[in-house]
Structure 1
Amino acid sequence: MPLTVCIIDQQPCYSGSETIRGRITFQTPKPVDIQDIRVTFSGCAKAKVQKVKGSAAPTTSYRSKCMLFEKGKILWHPSGDTIAPGTYEWPFEFAFPSQVLSASSRWPEALPFRSDANHPLPPTFAVKTADALRKIKCTIDYQIQAQVFSPQRGFLGRKSPLFSEVVRLRFIPGSARLDVKREGSSAAYQQQKEQVFNLRSMLLLPENRGRSLKLQERIQSWFSSSQLPRFIFKATFIYPSRVIQSTPLPCILEITPFMEDSSVTSPPEILLQSLSVAVLSQTGARAAPSLMGALSGQVDERIEILSKSSLGMPVSGTVDLAQAFGPLVFRHTDVSFGTFNISRTYRLSASFVFECAGSTRSLDLPGLPFDIFADFEAPSNIPSSVEHLSEDDSPPSYTSASMLSTGTLDKS
């Protein structure tokens, strides 16, 4: 290549505030007219939101491009002179920012996106995803680009560079890296959801346990339910609000009997018949208002973590799901973030079905938000599915992930 970009001691992943040094080399075997030679360091977030219609109808695409920052330098300015054959070299130096250096009033404040000035830079990101309503393509790219421009001939002369070379840099912000040792144990990030169940049944009596009610007894129970024995218990699901990429989810189920409020002398057996734990990752994208209007959309991907049925498993006290069923690990995925036109968020979905005294009760928790962080101590080993997507790239394949399309589609 006549033009090369060399970064000295290039890091496998940057987190902000680093100094990036390198050199630009230009080789020409013959005399050439040069206007100038430039180097640009930039971050850009691009999104395409496409409405999905019938196969016979054309689709409409809404695009957005947001420059997160841009720093440029003119390394040489011959101003159209002819330079002799040879090898030319220039050093360069940039500071990697940790916040966006531009803001635009055209991006309204709307969760899960961010429009506040100087918010943290989003991580390197690339994804294609779709559901029945929309197709979404997103890229967040950080690059150093060298360009050689020839003199412009005439008013409609060539404006594209004569030569161009790009080096892309992987970035995960420091704000998206979790230092567990510094911030405390994982217990500090635990959240919980609970539900109280009130059971009334003749089967709660010691002499009736283990048998089925006769028809006459069922009819009697329907007409005199307030006189039946009562048992109250609480089911609590404890889950993390912060998770490090590719590490198991620490999830706990707690069963607490309320004997003081129950009319039975001893707690009956509670069986866990089925359970399901899944992660919903949501990719959001939006296009700014244009002649065609504005468009936003979110696509969910459901990643099954644990699914068991017909268990008949007695549960009481504290049940660590990892100890009972193995580590709850899901595929390598991206950290949580939001910026002007792209976002990635996560929710936990959990469901439990209990059986007690011939009755079933369900604990359904469909949308528990949590954040995914990168490992603070091992930035070079941070897993990522990020690859630069061209217009013709196909979506990345997701193993062990079943798809659930929900989300919304808004147009103004």
Structure 2
Amino acid sequence: MPLTICLNNQRPCYSGNEPISGRLIFQCSSPTNVRDIRVTFSGRAKAKVQKVKGAAAPTASYRSKCVLFERERILSHPDGETIAPGTYEWPFDFVFPSHIQSPPGSRWPEKVPFRSDANHPLPPTFAAETSNSLRRLDCAIEYRLHAQVLKPQQGIMGRKSPWLSETVRLTFLPLSAKLDPNGNSNHAPMYQQQKEQVFNIRSMLLLPENRGRGLKVQEKIQSWLSPSQLPRFSFKASFSYPTCVIQSTPLPCFLDIASFMEDSSVTSPPDILMQSVSIAVISQTAARAAPSLMGAISGQTDERIEILSRTSLAMSVSAKIDLGQAFGPLVLRHTDVSFGTFNISRTYRLCASFKFECAGKTTEFDLPDLPINIIAQMERDENRRILDLPEEDSPPSYTSASILSIRTFEKS
């Protein structure tokens, strides 16, 4: 290749504040006039939002592009002079930022789930094409090194595009989206959130002598006419779940059933049977285009990821149950980490549903919208480096790349 980017510390994935160094190699086969040679390191979030009209083709596309950061190095500036044939190289170095370094401007208004605050955390590398009956979304967050060899411009209408160019794309995952060795995330604390609901049961079947049989027609009529006279029983169902979920690992979810005998008129608690259980994660991809001649538009699409679904259980529940032990590991298959930026976001929510039967009465415990964050686990070697961090929590340095001196158009 006449133009090649060679990285000294190429990694499968980078994090914030990591150095990136390398060399740009230019092979010139004939005498050439060159204006300058440069390398640009940048991050961009690009989105395309389309309306969908039934089964017909989408309408016009609404596009947005946000420059998250941009750094440029002019490695050589011959300013139109002729360079001789040969192989040339120049070193360059950058530092991967950890936060957005472009002002949001007035065209990014505050709107959930997007972010409009300046200097918010840099989002991870991301790509998704998704659609529903209303919107079609094409989203990408990319980070790249882009090298260019530019020739002198001839006149006002002369060539402005580069004569030669080369691009290397980099994968980025912020430390704020990773789990540290102590089991904590910098993005959000790892703890169990609990949701609960109290159920009140009134039925003649709560009486010990009536348990295990069905009500006669006369008893049903009597129950309907005098509900306040029926025996009563109360119990509380509590569901606890993690606020952060590690990619591709089991979810620690628990169901706790507690009887309230002090609020009940029966002397002993009846059987509570769990008839069905359902747990799923909803991933939402959202994108928006800033106001333009065509106006502004936003859209979001949901994908349901089934974790657990069981029916016809007739399972007696009376205390705390580890749902992972009862039904097998509740594994969330690999998916993108949670993030938000000016024009693209990926968020998640947990949905859980339980159906109980007690004394012939059926009750439902529905939890349709429980927010969670998806975080990534560091690789083992990264964990080892994090453990060696000094007290000021400076970022890890994965390589010690040698510094090369710049040789302006000297043959290598």
The TM-score, its normalising length taken from structure 1, stands at: 0.89
Tell me, in whole angstroms, the C-alpha distance in 2 between the residues paired with 1:239 and 1:249: 8
Secondary structure of the residue aligned to 1:219 is helix
- Tell me the equivalent position of 1:133: 134
Tell me, in whole angstroms, the C-alpha distance in 2 between the residues paired with 1:241 and 1:180: 18
The aligned runs of 1:95-114 (5 Å cut-off) are: 95-103=95-103, 104-114=105-115
Tell me, in whole angstroms, the C-alpha distance in 1 between the residues paired with 2:330 and 2:21: 42
CA contact (8 A) 1:13 1:380 kept: no
Tell me, in whole angstroms, the C-alpha distance in 2 between the residues paired with 1:178 and 1:110: 28
CA contact (8 A) 1:202 1:208 kept: yes
* Pairwise CA RMSD: 1.7
CA contact (8 A) 1:13 1:379 kept: no
Q: Report runs of 4+ in structure 1 exceeding 2 Å deviation.
A: 54-58, 376-381
Letter of the structure 2 residue corresponding to residue 100 of structure 1: I
Cα 1:58–1:129 shift into 2, 3 Å: closer
Tell me, in whole angstroms, the C-alpha distance in 1 between the residues paired with 2:189 and 2:263: 30
CA contact (8 A) 1:179 1:377 kept: no
Cα 1:195–1:379 shift into 2, 3 Å: farther
CA contact (8 A) 1:31 1:83 kept: yes
Letter of the structure 1 residue corresponding to residue 376 of structure 2: A
Instruction: After TM superposition, give the deviation of residue 111 of structure 1 in Å.
Output: 1.5
- Tell me the equivalent position of 1:390: none
CA contact (8 A) 2:247 2:332 kept: no
Tell me, in whole angstroms, the C-alpha distance in 2 between the residues paired with 1:25 and 1:106: 40
Tell me, in whole angstroms, the C-alpha distance in 2 between the residues paired with 1:262 and 1:179: 47
Secondary structure of the residue aligned to 2:223 is helix
- Tell me the equivalent position of 2:356: 354
Instruction: After TM superposition, give the deviation of residue 378 of structure 1 in Å.
Output: 4.2
Instruction: After TM superposition, give the deviation of residue 182 of structure 1 in Å.
Output: 6.3
Instruction: After TM superposition, give the deviation of residue 58 of structure 1 in Å.
Output: 5.4
Letter of the structure 1 residue corresponding to residue 138 of structure 2: K
- Tell me the equivalent position of 1:388: none
Instruction: After TM superposition, give the deviation of residue 209 of structure 1 in Å.
Output: 0.5
Secondary structure of the residue aligned to 1:63 is strand
CA contact (8 A) 1:34 1:78 kept: yes
CA contact (8 A) 1:255 1:317 kept: yes
The aligned runs of 1:198-213 (5 Å cut-off) are: 198-213=200-215
Tell me, in whole angstroms, the C-alpha distance in 1 between the residues paired with 2:163 and 2:22: 21
Letter of the structure 2 residue corresponding to residue 136 of structure 1: L
Letter of the structure 1 residue corresponding to residue 294 of structure 2: M
Cα 1:180–1:211 shift into 2, 3 Å: farther
Cα 1:2–1:279 shift into 2, 3 Å: same
- Tell me the equivalent position of 1:30: 30
Secondary structure of the residue aligned to 1:105 is coil
The total of aligned residue pairs comes to 380
- Tell me the equivalent position of 2:90: 90
Tell me, in whole angstroms, the C-alpha distance in 2 between the residues paired with 1:300 and 1:258: 39
Instruction: After TM superposition, give the deviation of residue 105 of structure 1 in Å.
Output: 2.2
Tell me, in whole angstroms, the C-alpha distance in 2 between the residues paired with 1:187 and 1:171: 22
Letter of the structure 2 residue corresponding to residue 312 of structure 1: A
Tell me, in whole angstroms, the C-alpha distance in 2 between the residues paired with 1:108 and 1:286: 11
Does 2:287 align with 1:323? no
Cα deviation, 1:26-46, whole Å, max 9, x if unaligned, reads 002222221111100000000
Structure 1, gaps ≥5 residues long: 382-412
The aligned runs of 1:280-299 (5 Å cut-off) are: 280-299=282-301
- Tell me the equivalent position of 1:332: 334
Tell me, in whole angstroms, the C-alpha distance in 1 between the residues paired with 2:32 and 2:239: 70
- Tell me the equivalent position of 2:198: 196
Moved more, 342-351 or 54-63: 54-63
Tell me, in whole angstroms, the C-alpha distance in 2 between the residues paired with 1:332 and 1:224: 54
Cα deviation, 1:192-226, whole Å, max 9, x if unaligned, reads 11110000101111111111111111011101111
Secondary structure of the residue aligned to 2:220 is helix
Cα deviation, 1:86-126, whole Å, max 9, x if unaligned, reads 10100001011101110122101111111111111000000
- Tell me the equivalent position of 2:386: none
Instruction: After TM superposition, give the deviation of residue 54 of structure 1 in Å.
Output: 3.8
Structure 2, gaps ≥5 residues long: 384-412
CA contact (8 A) 1:12 1:380 kept: no
Tell me, in whole angstroms, the C-alpha distance in 2 between the residues paired with 1:284 and 1:304: 21
- Tell me the equivalent position of 1:372: 374
Cα deviation, 1:62-102, whole Å, max 9, x if unaligned, reads 10000000000111111122211110100001011101110
Tell me, in whole angstroms, the C-alpha distance in 1 between the residues paired with 2:196 and 2:253: 13
The TM-score, its normalising length taken from structure 2, stands at: 0.89
State the identity %.
69
- Tell me the equivalent position of 2:396: none
